[in-house]
Amino acid sequence: MRAVSVVAVSAFLVLAVFGTASANGFLAPAVGAKASGLAGAFIGLADDYSAAFWNPAGITQIEGTEITVLGQDAVTMGSRDGFIGFDGALRTHIPVMAEIAATTEAGQRLLPGVFFYPNVSLGALFDKIGITAYTLTDYGTLWPGSSVYDDIIDAYATAPNDPAGYRRVMGDAPDSESRLTAYAITPVVAKEIVPGLSFGLAGHAVYTSFSSKMGAWTEQSWQDSSRIYPIQMEDDATGWGMCATAGLLYKATKALSVGAVLRTPMTVAMSGEIEISSDVPEYDYPTQDQEYDLTFPMWAGLGIAYRDVLVDGLTMTADATWTQWSEFPGITRTTDGDLPDDLQSADPEWDDTIEVGVGLDYRMSRSVSLRLGYRNVPTPCDAEHYTVLLPQTAKDVIGAGVTYRGDSWHVDLSMEYQASQTFEVPANVNYENNGEHVDDLMTAGLSLTYAF
């Protein structure tokens, strides 16, 4: 009798957190309804509450006291077309193969935020201050085992040369599920250094939670028959990290402004539990305490905004952002006991990415503005390191939004669609995640701002 792990339980379950690359290294909608409507092309404009995230220097444009409540609703949708295979019984050496044509369950996440900018300065030090708390990301996916493995279960149960009535599939198909959440508490300050040039600084205390459940199979083969048994890995951990964002905003003319921003790397010390369970003893590990560091990469960007371009009231924005994925150090776990080697440590060897985005904001009247944006989001990941748990497909991001203003308040509405490009994973490069992968994200946003 022998055991062969066919769908590997690997360290990429945790490394997948970092494969979700977009602005700032998080796969999240653009923070703020206006920025989301511009598909994140906001660094050179940064003229509302979300400047605390995009470019802290922009808060010098907020007059008086302002408070904003933000809610964003994100829905994830993924699919995979590939195949799965087992060796089959030793005597026949006939592999059992089947297609995977699976879709994720639509996951829905609510992303809240609160932003407060009082009409207070810190004397000669800073002209504007603020305190904000918002969601950096709340992203996850659920692959039902019945969707991923239904064909292989049918094929395995009817494999050739099988003794009549012999039960070959032991247990239910395991699910694979993940959820990454990160919430930031961010004090922010800014000052106009010289006329037209502002500097801003934000400090971020970030609470991060990551939980996952990964399904796998192992095959036990005899001389003339075999069985498959499910394996289930469950992992959860939480931790705090700190980083800072520095920004500059230069209003060269009444129409033209240019912004630059840099966010430092952030290491989150994670701690929690991990368990691997199976009816096969060699794949059954007790619940263990675990610790590991997650290092979010450095992020930098340049942006430009030009007002009254072509027609009065039309603002065009454009930016480029860089994420330093190549310096990501990988994951090394510390646990109470033993785990499979590929769960202890791994290095993804990702590449740096550069995103480019453009946006249009048209103020139709004193009360109404419309906006539209596009952003291209590449992936830092190659086929060898791809994982389905938190997919890393490249994205074409389209944003749209509208603002309605009253005398002392305004409402921003946005819709952002991150359309996945198909990611192909050859079986000879990454057998466990072979196939064509698609991962879309749809986000609706609503913010209410009151100024006094």
Reference 152, options 85, 82, 245; nearest CA is: 85
Q: In this structure, what token pair is assigned to residue 213? A: 């459940």
Reference 381, options 71, 17, 3; nearest CA is: 17
pLDDT in tens, the chain (452 residues): 333 444 444 433 444 444 344 444 444 567 999 999 999 999 999 999 999 999 999 999 999 999 999 999 988 888 999 988 887 766 666 788 889 899 988 777 888 999 999 998 888 899 999 999 999 888 888 889 888 889 888 888 776 655 544 668 888 888 888 888 999 999 999 999 999 999 999 999 999 998 988 888 888 877 777 888 898 888 899 999 999 999 999 999 999 999 999 999 999 999 999 988 888 888 888 889 999 888 888 999 999 999 999 899 999 999 999 999 888 776 778 888 777 665 656 667 788 999 999 999 999 999 999 999 999 999 888 888 887 766 678 999 999 999 999 999 999 999 999 999 999 999 899 888 899 999 898 999 999 999 99
What is the DSSP secondary structure assignment for residue 48, as one 8-state letter? S
Distance CA 24, CA 245 (A): 11
Provide φ and ψ at 231, rounded to 5°: -125, 140
Distance CA 12, CA 390 (A): 9
Q: How is 52-66 classified by DSSP, letter by letter? A: HHH-GGGGGG--S-E
Q: pTM above 0.85?
A: yes
Domains for the chain: give ranges and CATH numbers.
Answer: 2-451 (2.40.160.60)
Distance CA 24, CA 41 (A): 13
448 strand-pairing partners? 69, 411
**Distance of alpha carbon 232 from the chain centroid:** 23
Q: Is there a contact between 416 and 442 (Cβ–Cβ < 8 Å)?
A: yes
**428 CB contacts (<8 Å, ≥6 apart)?**
none
- In 297-394, where do the E strands start and end? 299-306, 314-323, 331-332, 334-335, 345-346, 353-363, 368-377
Q: What is the CA radius of gyration of the chain?
A: 25
Distance CA 24, CA 33 (A): 17
Distance CA 172, CA 170 (A): 7
